[in-house]
Amino acid sequence: MKAHLRVTIDDDDLLIMDKIATATEWVLKYTAISSEATVPGPVNEAIRQIAAHLYANREASLVGVTAQSLPFGTLDLLAPYTPFVCG
């Protein structure tokens, strides 16, 4: 995850782990994948993208920029694993 974020210091390790846990929980609930099941690669990539988004955008409001709730393409990665989305 740190390589994905291009973070080379250890100062934010706990924060990054928290973002991963939050993203993982959200994705597993969104897809209804069991936490005990093997997580497919695209789902892991979606978790990385969401965790990176949470790490980079730590506030709920932004001024003067275009914002999105999830990184572009994340829902596309999850669509095949989401029972209520046609993929």
Which pLDDT score, from 0 to 100, does residue 72 have? 78
- Mean pLDDT (the chain) is 87
Residue ranges per domain, the chain? Answer: 2-81
Walking along the chain (87 residues) 10 residues at a time, the average pLDDT comes out as 94 96 95 91 95 85 68 87 71
| Helix 13-31 with 41-56: angle, nearest 10 deg | 130
Which pLDDT score, from 0 to 100, does residue 35 have? 87
Q: What angle do CA 6, 49, 80 make, to 5 degrees?
A: 150
Hey, is 73 helix, strand or coil?
coil
Q: Please give the model's pTM, rounded to 2 decimal places.
A: 0.80
Which pLDDT score, from 0 to 100, does residue 45 have? 95
